[in-house]
Amino acid sequence: MDSRTKILNAASQLFLKGGVGALSVRAISKSAGLSTIGIYSHFQGKQGILDTLYIEGFNLVYDAMDVQIDGKVEVDDVMRGCEAYLRVAVDNEAHYRLIFGESDTNYTPSKDARAAADRAFGKLLSNTGDFLKDTGRSTDRIQASMDIWAIMHGYVSISHHARANQELDWQKMALRAVRLCLDACP
């Protein structure tokens, strides 16, 4: 494993254990088994690490929702994208928690990081828009996209905070709610 990957893995693990407060250049370098100089040479410090994780997280979300085949999106395609989104949230918990609300108040995503977030939401908007193309109203597409994103994010957030109630199938519940939302779209 190269140094860059070791640093990102160490930062992710520290984040999961202690949140953003656990992320310091010294703690990351110790966990990665590298010098602090290595972190500064690869990432220019904590901001660079957070930006990289943020961009990676939104790229994972984008890729998960990249379900469009031949320019046509059906309800099953949107659902498949939502399923993949939920898998990203489970399989990449540190990334997910960083990009959706557990970041440092001193961390401001860079222009590139914000562009990655916009691209991911744009993919959901595109999928939903293609699915709802017959309505002709962009406000309907935006509203439906926001509803879907809120449903998925809400269920993921609840699952992260309700660890004691593991017998619930959060993903199945989220997908049921998304399907109801899609079925109710004009």
| For residue 126, pLDDT beyond 90 | no
- Quick one: pLDDT at residue 108? 83
Where residue 103 falls among pLDDT bands split at 50, 70, 90? low
Residues in the chain: 186
Tell me how far the alpha carbon of residue 21 is from its chain's centroid: 20
29 or 97: which carries more pLDDT confidence? 29
186 or 148: which carries more pLDDT confidence? 148
- Quick one: pLDDT at residue 95? 83
pLDDT in tens, 35-82: 889 889 888 888 899 899 889 999 999 998 887 666 667 788 888 889
CA distance 115 to 109: 9
Mean pLDDT of the chain: 83
| For residue 28, pLDDT beyond 60 | yes
Q: Which CATH architecture has domain 47-184?
A: Orthogonal Bundle (1.10)
Where residue 166 falls among pLDDT bands split at 50, 70, 90? low
Beta partners for residue 64, in sequence order: none
CA dihedral 123, 126, 130, 136 (to 10 degrees): 160
Share of the chain above pLDDT 90, in %: 22
- Quick one: pLDDT at residue 19? 76
Structural contact between residues 81 and 145, judged by C-beta atoms closer than 8 angstroms: no
User: Helices 3-18 and 25-32 meet at what angle, rounded to 10?
Assistant: 120
137 or 18: which carries more pLDDT confidence? 18
Burial of 54 (0-12, 13-18, 19+ CB in 10 A): buried
Q: Whole-model pTM?
A: 0.82
- Mean per-residue pLDDT for 5-13? 90
CATH topology match: 1-44 vs 47-184: no
- Quick one: pLDDT at residue 133? 65
CATH number (1.10.10.60, 1.20.1050.10, 1.20.1270.360, 3.40.50.1360) of 1-44 reads 1.10.10.60
- Mean per-residue pLDDT for 139-151? 83
- The domain ranges of the chain are 1-44, 47-184
Category of 169 on φ-ψ map: left (φ > 0), alpha (ψ -120 to 50) or beta: beta
